[in-house]
Amino acid sequence: MTKQVKMGILGLLLVIPSFLLLFVTVVIPIAVSFKESLVNKDGGYDLSNYKYLFTDKLMRQNIVFSLEVTVISVVIVLIISYALAAYMRFNKGKLVAWIRNMYMIPIFIPSVIATYGLIQLLGNHGWLSRWVLLLGGGEIPRIIFDMKGIIIANLWFNIPFTTMLLGSALAGVPDSVMESAKDVGAGKLRLFTRFILPLTYKTLLVAVTFVFMGVIGSFTAPFLLGPNAPQMLGVSMEQIFGVFQEKEQASALAFFTFLLCSVMGYFYIRSMVKEEGARS
């Protein structure tokens, strides 16, 4: 055996444990729920549960609603987080230090508690409306128990981590690059589009994937802050599984959610592989 073959075998052996772990905790459950999702009412196998997902008016609304909430949340989270991270990267002073100390706090508050906090804060007779009244304002419009409520909660949960992620990417943009670009006369916009964005693009993609997956499968906030109908997929899945006891339909919905996430995963992995390939 040459050394190369030996090393190859060793490499394979080292990969096996993580592969097996992935196989047992991810691949098998997905395969099982896929199989279960194909079981129809009479015990046979067909696509009736998937047909139900896309023909039932309510389920279709749920899917569209979830995607809407997710896309809007992802966009807003990215804009705010990028702005925050960029601000912290390129500015100095008390305010920056203050933001740097504070922006992580939401991560340490459990989601259920944060959600109840939001209800207390934003409810019709909540803190916010009481302050508005005290300061001479009128009734504020309803913010929770609809899409806005879920999005606000998603911002709260996702901005800290995304800011952290983007912050580390921005920290990796060398000052020398920025300075030399400035020297040859690049404006702020050009600096951003030609240097900063390309250098942080990969992390941005990671952030999109994380926020997308986190939001589309979320349960606590949509359950407590969302409307009764349409529901987010997580809430709907729980209802179908726990209340209506339709295991097969819940499996179909779970598998569909998995597919949505894996589409995101595909783009992410493809860009990673491209990057790796370009490097070697």
Pick 153 or 166: Cβ nearer another protein: 153
What separation in angstroms does the CA of 66 have from each of 11, 39, 48?
41, 25, 22
Q: Is 27 in the site for another protein (CB under 8 A)?
A: no
Cβ of residue 243: shortest distance to another protein, in angstroms? 4
Pick 131 or 244: Cβ nearer another protein: 244
Site string for another protein, 110-129 (x = CB under 8 A): ---------x---xxxx---
**Degrees to nearest 5, angle at CA 256 with 33 and 148:** 125
* Interface with another protein (CB under 8 A), residue from 4, 5, 17, 92: 17
Task: Take residue 161 and report the two structure tokens written for it.
Answer: 């981590």
Question: Exposed/middle/buried for 119, CB within 10 Å: 0-12, 13-18, 19+?
Answer: middle
d(CA 149, CA 134): 23
Of residues 168-197, those binding another protein (CB under 8 A): none
* Interface with another protein (CB under 8 A), residue from 2, 228, 276, 277: 228
CA pseudo-torsion sign 220, 223, 225, 230: positive
* Interface with another protein (CB under 8 A), residue from 106, 227, 258, 271: 227
Of residues 42-81, those binding another protein (CB under 8 A): 57-58, 61
Find the DSSP H helices in 135-183. 147-171, 175-183
> Which residues bind to another protein, rule: CB under 8 A?
10, 13-14, 16-17, 20-21, 24, 57-58, 61, 119, 123-126, 142, 145, 223-224, 227-230, 239, 242-245
